[in-house]
Structure 1
């Protein structure tokens, strides 16, 4: 059975809450990801800014060079552990209508898992069929 650690991505796209939305989008494009992790010592923990957050701001007519990440990021996150079954993490994503979860090993942030990552490792239906055989 595949685990979250088999599919998760490294933490490459990182921004701070004072970065502009344009800077966040450039970082996400640079790292070919749909989300950037937001880190700052003043935050209670890591947050996320996603392509959905950027699109909402753009659709509302906000200036991407003025608006900052801290005003658009998501702070209440669904998290996973590296040893979780991949199916469990995917189920949580579907249940909560999200496409990214942060992966923690104890208190340490070790990666990010996206729906794209889940699909990239071959999907879950094949795993279920193999486990049943």
Structure 2
């Protein structure tokens, strides 16, 4: 992984009416993933939303990087009033809505991969992290 990918990033989020380009979703949150966490492996990660709480998420069947890419796609779709999917147009989860709402209000959003773990341990580790700081996992 390039070291630049590890840098904390914050960019503008489009608050005026209009579509959010795909590349804009790349820069509207901070990435606080510590050095040593491999985004190309399964594991646990979190979304921290200012004045809202923390959501613990996992990547069991795929990598953290692929899950992050999927989250960014869902945020962009929701912001652009696009359907979740053709068979489930309103399938966005609460976390998708909370992140988009926070950014529209100008609140900070932080992504951080917390740990790598084996797919077999993901459920147990997720329960642990929810107990420690997963305030939005209800």
TM-score (norm 1): 0.26
**Structure number with larger C-alpha Rg:** 1
TM-score (norm 2): 0.25
